[in-house]
Amino acid sequence: MNVLFVLAVVLSGLAAGAALNGVLAMIPALRSLDAATVLEVRHAAGPLPSQMTVVLATGAGLAGAALLAFYGNLGSDAQALVAVATGLSGVVLGAGWFAMRVQMSLCEPREEPARQLALTRRWEYAQLVICAASLGALACYASGAASVP
């Protein structure tokens, strides 16, 4: 049980830290650069940061699901917190997948700036969702680990 809690906390924490850095630093940094540089950056970066989020959220969600499935003695508080965290990991997984798809579309050069801007906004909203959900998952897993009787 302890190993699963450590795994869930560590994976969700890495996803949350990565997402927070994306929202607080990468989004404003990309907004401050010219369009040609942003395209170069997106080509060079590829979907790896979003893939990292998907992998971490999947691992955290699986660890949470295993805790719920195999340990009935977590106590009601810890069980509820782990259930919420597992659900939030699912949200991170879905939004990370969406961000990855949008990121791949953003790598294609386009003639229409309006379409590029719309895709950029979708990518930014996905990052906000990932950030909020992964922070929630981390807080819930850590609180759950602390509240096991």
Partner 1 sequence: MSGVLDVITVVLSGLVAGGLLVVQLGLVRTVAVLPAAASIRLHVAFDHYVERSMPALTIATLIVGIVDSAVHSMPAAAAALSIAGLLATAIVAAISQLVNVPMNATMRNWEPGTAPREYASLRVRWDRAHLARTLAGEVAFVCFAVALVLR
Sites of contact with partner 1 (CB under 8 A): 2, 5-6, 9-10, 12-22, 24-26, 28-30, 32-33, 37, 40-41, 44-45, 48-49, 52, 135, 138-139, 142-143, 145-148
132 vs 148, which CB is nearer to partner 1? 148
**What share of residues in the chain are helix, strand, coil (percent, to 5)?**
85, 0, 15
Task: Give the shortest CB-48-to-partner 1 separation in angstroms.
Answer: 6
Beta strands in 32-146 (DSSP E): none
Q: How many CB atoms lie within 10 A of CB 148?
A: 18
115 vs 146, which CB is nearer to partner 1? 146
Task: Give the shortest CB-96-to-partner 1 separation in angstroms.
Answer: 12
CB crowding 118-137: b at 16 or more within 10 Å, else e: ebbebbbebbebbbbbbbbb
2 vs 112, which CB is nearer to partner 1? 2
3 vs 114, which CB is nearer to partner 1? 3
For 128, the 3-state DSSP assignment is helix
For 104, the 3-state DSSP assignment is helix
Amino acid at 138: L
Amino acid at 79: Q
Task: Give the shortest CB-131-to-partner 1 separation in angstroms.
Answer: 10
Task: Give the shortest CB-34-to-partner 1 separation in angstroms.
Answer: 9
